Amino acid sequence: QKEVEQNSGPLSVPEGAIASLNCTYSDRGSQSFFWYRQYSGKSPELIMFIYSNGDKEDGRFTAQLNKASQYVSLLIRDSQPSDSATYLCAVGYQKVTFGTGTKLQVIP
């Protein structure tokens, strides 16, 4: 089993819709959870991090963490074409482990 799993996509959503990106992890002791956005040919940039169960909102982005079910999700409201990128989930316990990423395509 992969330590951090993400559906590779592509996930296609129309402009203005809500994009929902999911991530599951295997280590129950994980403490820190990160979402990075990576445009093609560029390095990852941090969007959000979350440490506690529940929701954390920042502008159009909401991270949701459910430690009992071992999943973390990222919701993007009012999706824009500029949101088209690969979204990496990263989970930290003794080290930070990255998933392979989900490619998001926002269709104008």
Partner 1 sequence: ETGVTQTPRHLVMGMTNKKSLKCEQHLGHNAMYWYKQSAKKPLELMFVYSLEERVENNSVPSRFSPECPNSSHLFLHLHTLQPEDSALYLCASSQDSGRGSTDTQYFGPGTRLTVL
B/e letters for 63-84, b = 16+ CB within 10 Å, e = fewer, are bbbebeebbbbbbbeebeeebb
Cβ closer to partner 1: 16 or 51?
A: 51
Cβ closer to partner 1: 44 or 64?
A: 44
CB atoms near residue 87 (< 10 Å):
24
Residue 10 tokens, joined? 């592509």
The yes or no reply on residue 42 touching partner 1 (CB under 8 A) is yes
The yes or no reply on residue 28 touching partner 1 (CB under 8 A) is no
Cβ closer to partner 1: 40 or 69?
A: 40
The yes or no reply on residue 43 touching partner 1 (CB under 8 A) is yes
